[in-house]
Amino acid sequence: MITQWLFTHVDRRGAFAIALLVAIAFFVPVLNLLVPETSALHVPTYLVSLLGKYLTYALLAVALDLVWGFCGILSLGHGAFFALGGYAMGMYLMRQIGPRGVYANPVLPDFMVFLNWKELPWFWYGFDNFWFAALMVVLVPGILAFGFGWLAFRSRVTGVYLSIITQALTYALLLAFFRNDMGFGGNNGLTDFKDILGFNVQAGTTRSALFAATALFLALAVFLASFIIRSKLGKVLVGVRDAESRMRFLGYRVERYKLFVWTISAMLAGIAGALYVPQVGIINPSEFEPANSIEAVIWVAVGGRGTIIGPILGAVLVNFGKTYFTAAFPEIWLFALGALFILVTLFLPKGILGLYGSWQARRATRAALKDDDAQPPLVKQSSRLVPAPEPQAAE
Amino acid sequence: MKAKDTLLYLDGVSVSFDGFRAINNLSLVLQSGEMRAIIGPNGAGKTTMMDIITGKTKPDTGDVYFNGTVDLTGHDEAEIAMLGIGRKFQKPTVFESHTVEDNLMLALAGPRSAFSALFHRQSQAEADHILEILYTIRLFEKRHWLAANLSHGQKQWLEIGMLLAQDPKLLLVDEPVAGMTDAETAETAKLLRDIARTRSVIVVEHDMHFVRELDVKVTCLHEGSVLAEGSLDHVSNDQRVIEVYLGR
Amino acid sequence: MAAKRLVSLTPLATVQGPVGEAASTAIASINSELELWNGIQNIIYGLSLGSVLLLAAIGLAITFGVMGVINMAHGEMVMIGAYTTFVVQQIIRVSAPGLFDYSLLIALPAAFLVSGAIGVVIERGIIRFLYGRPLETLLATWGISLVLQQATRSWFGASNVQVGSPSWMSGSFDVGMLTLTWSRLWIIVFALAVFATLQLVLKKTMLGLRMRAVTQNRRMASSMGIRTPWVDALTFGLGSGIAGIAGVALSQIDNVSPNLGQGYIIDSFMVVVFGGVGNLWGTLVGAMSLGIANKFLEPFAGAVLGKIFVLVLIILFIQKRPRGLFALKGRAIEA
């Protein structure tokens, strides 16, 4: 019954992705913890963390695709929401250090003691509680996105103008978080974490658990995105992407739809950042670099925007490439990344999945021509097909 | 107020862009249930007039009333659409990556809030209404096609179908037969006359043949204001209309 | 000078009687005089910062404002101009050390040609396939910027290179109570000269006429016999070449490293968007007012916070006037 309910809201690809993610959420930890290190099947802990990091990037990519691929809003500042979620989690992890810091202050994190601060700034209150921090992980990016989007969409800032001001947004935050006075550790950011929910963040079991949590959150995000896209709201979003003014003249308040998906997307990005920080062990202002946000855009473009699993594919592939190149040929990585940007926009505007899709369509055309079927090649089979009555019913 | 008992009432409307007066002291009155054809040379202000009525452009001066009492200058596009004014663009504008059926589904009258859309489930009545429109616009066979794959004329018809689904009191139709064959043009004239039985329609068109087939009152615009108004014969015999528009 | 008088007067102001009063009024007048000079200094520093912004943005005003192309590699064109200056100076040092004072003058045309040529290659090779797809253009040119940065890094190394200043750029001079450096003054003069030249090119030359024709009505221009692809390439080359020229000037006040361009790209876009796209005067006003606003905010907020504040202000401003300060209005065109 659950699977049936799932299938009414998710297409086959999405269901496959969800199943796969749930499976690896289970098997990767098993292969890490239960299979002996000598076995060929053993997954070393560093790899678990690395894969976990890729999956948080994939979650960011899904969030970005929700606004770019389906609604046509190209955000060059999604890294900001990711980083804010990360900082919220980082603040919780800092508070967990307690008296084990270098200065052994039970309340103040080391960098505050170092700056000679006497008491905790008000915005650090509550972050010793995990659930408060978890709430902030979605609320802070969500509220920022809501305020920003409310202003921008209401004034109908669109296209490249919106892209440029999202970039300015993350740039402004980058500058702000670099300042020591902000109270977020300045240049060095937040690091030297010890515990999460009472478990040592360095321990193999914790890392496996974090990996599993990331995979499950990603599966959840795939479901949420599918649910949104397959609803009427999703169709409105695609309509906005293709012909915004038509949508307005049909009576839709385009700005509210944009605001909805924009805020949801920022919250997902925040969750991605929160899962990222304990797995890499640090969050610093460089996460706000505009370059990071644009890199996330290329993950989506490579995998295939406007699809739900394309961004996941793109994020994992590009980052795998990055890990490989930066270790093996560090000189070449930026050339490769730059070339990727150029080649994908020139030759693969729909990404890898788009390539697969057009190959499928071509095959369908050939099959249709062979069968001499009246069905046109690019028919989209709707699952909610109305039974066709006889044509004389007209008038 | 004079606006009373009219469906659409424009009085002394002017708008200028960077010193260029696109609409100059334009006045136009449309009765309920009336169909009106608007003709005029390029740059006469036809599209700008539609922009003003649908809330896309705010006039610098002048009154625009709908249904006698609603001041349209105080509403935006979405609100005006919900008041019951539908618009078809000059260039057919449909949602190309949606199916024909989904295009109509999106246009269908009903709540427009984001949350109702998120949890929307199509009712039988809605499905039936969509079918009905599909037959009217002769796209039943192609209901599962992506709109992008339709021919130019079929897109025009789909857009008219979307207007019908929207169930407006007033339809603004901008050059509906551009790029259509003669047969299609005749069909479209018939369709519009059918529609005009239950609603008011404003048609902007260059094709005189088509305007003649509509057989309605004609308004000729020139340089942003009304040059002549009346039956097609009356207007086409007007000396000034011949000079600026029809030619000799 | 005024500060010295202030120091000598301050103890007298506490004295009772006419001496004290006279001293107090003297202090008040000196203070207001100092405030005035302080304001003037802010304006001059603001103008010089604005000139830097103008130089960085003006090429962008052509590619983005006139052609509608989002060139994220614009900053790298500036960077290439700065590196060209470096290479020119190296050659002069080796072969004709006597010419060093003229090295910048020699570097100007060289930088224009190098950056401009690279711009033409980029336009012909990549951007022309992306016309009408601004978001894709943005991504592709970002890719180009990564490649250019890494190429420079591989060639010249990742660290800063030393670009020298000719004698007429160094030193300073006094105006009233201010001390101004010659480099600051030259930057202002130079930025305005570039702006004026560009206006002349656009308004008075055949290329400018054709450029305007193509941007206003491409099909008409094409049927009048204008080779629009060439005009596109040359326009883009012109914008890039101007960026290269800006690089020559910026090499005098900033570190020349492969990352040079990155520091200017966001500011440049802000200037163009703030001033109004497609309007060079808007770019001038935008750059100068942002420069001055920055300098007036700095004393209260510090340099970084002042900059953040300006960014936030621009973001809010774009909400109010999405088309910038000097936007062109027009009939709403359907899209």
Question: Cα distance from B82 to chain A (closest Cα, Å)?
Answer: 5
Q: How confident is the model at residue A137 (pLDDT cuts 50, 70, 90)?
A: very high
Predicted confidence (pLDDT) per residue in B151-201, tens digit:
888 898 999 999 999 999 999 998 888 878 888 888 888 888 888 888 999
Among the partner-chain residues A157, A160, A175, the one whose CB lies closest to the CB of C138 is: A160
**Nearest C-alpha in A relative to C269:** A164
How large is the average pLDDT for residues A229-254? 94
Round to whole Å and give the CA distance between A352 and C18: 88
On whether ipTM exceeds 0.85, the answer is yes
Q: Which residues contact A158 (CB under 8 A, 6 or more apart)?
A: A73, A244
Optimal mutation site among A250, A365, A380, A395, interface B, most CBs of chain B within 10 A: A250
List chain C domain ranges: 44-161+175-262
Degrees (nearest 5) of the Cα angle A350, A351, A355?
80
Is the Cβ–Cβ distance between B185 and B178 less than 8 Å?
no
Closest Cα in chain A, distance from residue B30 (Å): 20
Q: Residue-wise pLDDT tens for chain C (335 aa)? A: 566 677 777 777 777 777 778 888 888 888 888 888 888 888 888 898 899 899 989 999 888 877 888 899 999 999 999 999 999 999 999 988 888 888 899 999 999 999 999 999 999 999 999 988 888 999 999 999 999 999 999 999 988 998 888 888 888 888 777 778 888 888 899 999 999 999 998 888 888 888 888 877 788 888 888 888 898 999 999 999 999 999 999 998 888 999 999 888 888 888 888 888 777 888 999 999 989 988 888 877 777 888 888 888 887 887 777 777 765 544 333 33
Residues B32 and B79 reside in one and the same domain: yes
Same domain, B5 and B79: yes
Per-residue model confidence as pLDDT tens digits over A178-191: 998 889 999 999 99
| pLDDT value of residue C129 | 92
Considering the domain architecture, whether residues B187 and B102 belong to the same structural domain is answered as: yes
Q: How far is CA C31 from CA A17, C8, C180, in A?
A: 72, 14, 21
Q: Which stretches does DSSP call E strand in B89-224? A: 170-174, 200-204, 217-222
- Per-residue pLDDT tens digits for A228-239: 999 999 999 999
In a domain, B208, yes or no: no
Residue C129 distance to chain A (closest CA, Å): 7
CB B205 within 8 Å of CB B184: no
pTM of structure: 0.90
Angstrom distance (rounded) from CA A23 to CA A29: 10
The alpha carbon dihedral of A344, A347, A350, A354 has a sign of: negative
For residue B63, list its beta bridge partners.
Answer: B11
Answer whether B159's CB lies under 8 Å from B137's CB.
no
Read off the pLDDT of residues C259-281 as tens digits, 9 standing for 90 and up: 999 888 888 888 888 888 777 88
> Total domain count for chain B?
2
Share of chain A above pLDDT 90, in %: 71
Note whether residue B31 is domain-resident.
yes
Domain residues for the domain of B96 are 92-200
In angstroms, the CA A32 to CA A17 distance is 22
Q: d(Cα A5, Cα A8) in Å, to the nearest integer?
A: 5
Examine residue B205 and state whether it is found in any structural domain, yes or no.
Answer: no
Confirm or reject contact between C318 and chain A (CB < 8 A).
yes
Which among A235, A354, A345 is positioned nearest to A305, based on CA atoms?
Answer: A354
Instruction: Identify whether B116 is part of a domain.
Output: yes
Percent of chain B with pLDDT over 90: 43
Characterize A29-68 residue by residue with b for buried, 16 or more Cβ atoms within 10 angstroms of its Cβ, and e for exposed: bebbbeeeeeeeeebebeebbbbbbbbbbbbbbbbbbbbb
Of residues C145 and A331, more confidently modeled: C145
**The pLDDT of residue C182:** 86
Listed in sequence order, the residues at least 6 apart from A359 whose beta carbon sits closer than 8 Å to its beta carbon are: none
Q: Which residue of C has its CA nearest to A172?
A: C308
Query: What would the pLDDT profile of B65-78 be if each residue is shown by its tens digit?
Result: 998 888 999 899 99
Residue B210 lies in a domain: no
Q: Residue C329 is encoded by which pair of tokens?
A: 């209005």
**Judging by DSSP bridges, how do beta strands C172-175 and B170-174 pair with one another?**
unpaired
Q: Collapsing DSSP states into helix, strand and coil, what is residue B39?
A: strand
> How large is the average pLDDT for residues A242-249?
92
Is A248's CB within 8 Å of B96's CB?
Answer: no
Nearest Cα neighbor of C188 from C261, C274, C287, C303 is C287
Are residues B120 and B66 part of one domain?
no
**What CATH number should be reported for the domain holding residue B50?**
3.40.50.300
Residue B118 included in any domain:
yes
In a domain, B105, yes or no: yes
pLDDT at A7 over 80: no
Q: Tokens 């097609």 sit at which residue?
A: B232
Please indicate whether, in this complex, the C-beta atoms of A232 and B117 are within 8 angstroms of each other: yes
Q: How far is A254 from chain C (nearest CA, A)?
A: 15
Is residue B206 in some structural domain?
Answer: no
Q: In whole angstroms, what is the distance from residue A112 CA to residue B174 CA?
A: 66
Secondary structure of C180-204 in the HEC alphabet?
EEHHHHHHHHHHHHHHHHHHHHHHH
Among A303-307, A316-320, B18-22, B121-125, the least confident range: B18-22
Residues within 8 A of A (CB atoms), B 141-180 only: 142, 144-146, 149, 162, 166
Res. A5: pLDDT tops 80? no
Q: Dig out the tokens for C160 from the structure.
A: 């800063």
A60 touches A75 (CB < 8 A)? no
Q: Quick one: pLDDT at residue A21?
A: 95
The answer to whether B219 touches B26, Cβ cutoff 8 Å, is: no
pLDDT for the residue C331: 37
What is the average pLDDT score of chain A?
89
Phi, psi of B205 (to 5 degrees): -155, 145
pLDDT at A385: 34
Pairing of strands B20-30, B170-174: unpaired
All residues at 6 or more sequence positions from C151 whose CB lies less than 8 Å from its CB, including other chains:
A335
Res B246: pLDDT: 66
Pairwise CA distance, residues C62 & C69, whole Å: 9
Q: Are residues B28 and B124 in the same domain?
A: no
User: What distance in Å separates the CA atoms of residue C273 and residue C322, rounded to the nearest whole number?
Assistant: 8
pLDDT at A3 over 70: no
Residues B112 and B144 in one domain: yes
> Which token pair is C80?
């290439």
Q: Is B93 on the interface with A (CB under 8 A)?
A: yes
pLDDT of residue A256: 95
% residues pLDDT > 70 (chain A): 91
On whether the CB atoms of residues A172 and A144 are closer than 8 A, the answer is no
